[in-house]
């Protein structure tokens, strides 16, 4: 499920980039903020249940991984290339966003594994225990 911190950090980073000399870097947080709003809208209106052809946990995972990588790169560029205070603040928020997205994609990865394991038959577990028991005899 979409977390509020991601939208807040993305929006604040977007605002800082607008106020800075690094305006060209503001498209990344804007796109991420809009994507986060879309996924929040999809989950809150149960659109994800109506569109069964999309693997929503995988889409969330890809969004978080790509956002963490992109925020890290953009923040490095903002720190190294621009010297105004708003650019530095945006870079710091970008690094915070990187950490928050990394934590989120770890949590989503665990949910994705559970989601993918739902499709597997549970008959494998007794067979594995049986083979383990045969090894001990």
User: Residue 101 CA to chain centroid, in angstroms?
Assistant: 5
Pick from 51, 27, 28: nearest CA to 39: 51
Burial of 79 (0-12, 13-18, 19+ CB in 10 A): middle
Residue 1: its pLDDT value, please?
A: 41
Segments of the chain with pLDDT less than 70: 1-5, 119-137
User: Residue 64 CA to chain centroid, in angstroms?
Assistant: 2
Total Cβ atoms within 10 A of residue 74: 24
Handedness of CA 116, 121, 122, 125 (dihedral sign): negative
Residue 119: its pLDDT value, please?
A: 64
Dist. CA 46–CA 53, nearest whole Å: 14
Q: What is the pTM of this model?
A: 0.69
Burial of 20 (0-12, 13-18, 19+ CB in 10 A): buried
Residue 135: its pLDDT value, please?
A: 52
Residue 126: its pLDDT value, please?
A: 53
- Residue 30 CA: distances (Å) to CA of 47, 127, 131: 22, 50, 53
């Amino acid at each position: 499920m979409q977390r509020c911190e991601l939208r807040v950090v993305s929006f604040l980073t977007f605002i800082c980039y607008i106020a800075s000399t690094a305006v060209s870097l503001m498209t990344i947080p804007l796109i991420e903020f809009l994507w986060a709003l879309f996924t929040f809208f999809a989950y809150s209106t149960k659109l994800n249940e109506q569109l069964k052809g999309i693997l929503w946990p995988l889409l969330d995972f890809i969004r978080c991984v790509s956002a963490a990588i992109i925020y890290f790169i953009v923040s490095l560029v903002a720190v190294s290339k621009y010297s105004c205070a708003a650019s530095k603040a945006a870079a710091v928020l970008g690094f915070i966003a990187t950490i928050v997205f990394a934590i989120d994609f770890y949590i989503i990865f665990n949910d994705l594994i559970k989601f993918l394991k739902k499709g597997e038959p549970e008959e494998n577990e007794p067979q594995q225990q049986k083979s383990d028991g045969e090894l001990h005899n």
